[in-house]
Amino acid sequence: MAEPRIIVALDFADAGMAQAFVQRVTPAQCRLKVGMELFTAAGPDLVRQLVARGFDVFLDLKYHDIPSTVARACAQAAGLGVWMLNVHALGGKRMLMAAREAIESSKHRPLLIGVTLLTSHGEDELAELGLERGAERQVARLAGLVHDAGLNGVVCSPAEAALLRRRFGGEFVLVTPGIRKTGDAADDQRRTRTPVEAVAEGADYLVIGRPVTRAPDPAAVLDGINREIRTH
């Protein structure tokens, strides 16, 4: 899998804070994730600026709507020059296929991945949602839907990475949030792994937020994690 394999989650409240962080790291050390909070605050201009600085950007908006709306949104996102974007697998196969077709017809063709279950969900919350067969079985079912619709891969917790790698092979991209170094606080993540554990279990890309963005020296933290995962 092409380096860098770390995707830093820019979980900042405004563009100024995000830009201040980005000046402390390089495209060789990490890719960047722009999620709902930052995109709502700063809009597409920030995404264009990050792309212009040479960063691969993962636009993490988890599109979930009727197929035509999601298709148009994906086409607009592709036009920003992002490296990867996502849609929610619970939108169903027709929506997933509409998103894929929109990407395939765009000039710039980013990776398109599906979200299975949020890594903040525990078994109790899944039961509340009527998903009572267990996280691993639900993730496998939704990942199969994404695979059959022709998307590039899925977002999953590292706890499910080994299962999905065995089932779908090496070409299916696995993006894993919920990454914490040993001793880090789990925060709102429920199914976590260390970077080395996640890579060993089959993850292609590791989404890491606060352990990097709140570090006194983010570049040093990234260099350390990159060294760790290169040797495994």
Q: Is 60 inside any structural domain? A: yes
Q: Is 135 inside any structural domain? A: yes
Q: Is 185 inside any structural domain? A: no
Average pLDDT over residues 207-221: 96
Residue 181's pLDDT is what? 67
Q: Is 1 inside any structural domain? A: no
Q: How many CB atoms lie within 10 A of CB 16?
A: 11
* 2: three-class secondary structure by DSSP: coil
Question: CA 195, CA 116: separation in Å to the nearest integer?
Answer: 20
Average pLDDT over residues 46-73: 98
Dihedrals φ, ψ of 173, to 5°?
-75, 130
Residue 158's pLDDT is what? 85
Q: Is 181 inside any structural domain? A: no
Is there a contact between 129 and 88 (Cβ–Cβ < 8 Å)?
Answer: no
Q: Is 222 inside any structural domain? A: no
Number of alpha carbons in the 13 Å side-chain half-sphere of residue 46: 25
Q: Residues annotated as binding site for substrate? A: 11, 33, 60-69, 119, 180, 189, 209-210
Q: Is 83 inside any structural domain? A: yes
Among 102-111, 116-125, 172-181, the least confident range: 116-125
Task: Read off the pLDDT of residues 15-41 as tens digits, 9 standing for 90 and up.
Answer: 999 999 999 999 999 999 999 999 999
Q: How many CB atoms lie within 10 A of CB 134?
A: 12
Q: 11 burial class (0-12, 13-18, 19+ CB within 10 angstroms)? A: middle
- Domains of the chain: total: 1
Is there a contact between 114 and 154 (Cβ–Cβ < 8 Å)?
Answer: yes
Supply the range of the domain harboring residue 59.
6-176+192-216
Residue 231's pLDDT is what? 79
Residue 74 reports pLDDT greater than 90: yes
Q: Is 210 inside any structural domain? A: yes
Spatial CA neighbour of 29 closest among 229, 222, 231, 168: 222
State which H helix or E strand residue 161 sits in.
helix 158-168
pTM: 0.91
Task: Read off the pLDDT of residues 184-205 as tens digits, 9 standing for 90 and up.
Answer: 554 454 446 799 999 999 999 9
Question: 231: which residues sit within 8 A by CB, 6+ positions away?
Answer: none
Residue 117's pLDDT is what? 77
List the CATH number of the domain containing 129: 3.20.20.70
Average pLDDT over residues 171-194: 70
Q: How many CB atoms lie within 10 A of CB 23?
A: 9
Please identify every residue annotated as catalytic.
60, 62, 65
Task: Read off the pLDDT of residues 108-154 as tens digits, 9 standing for 90 and up.
Answer: 899 999 998 776 766 777 667 767 667 788 889 999 999 999 999 99
Q: 87 burial class (0-12, 13-18, 19+ CB within 10 angstroms)? A: buried
Question: CA 92, CA 113: separation in Å to the nearest integer?
Answer: 13
* 80: three-class secondary structure by DSSP: coil
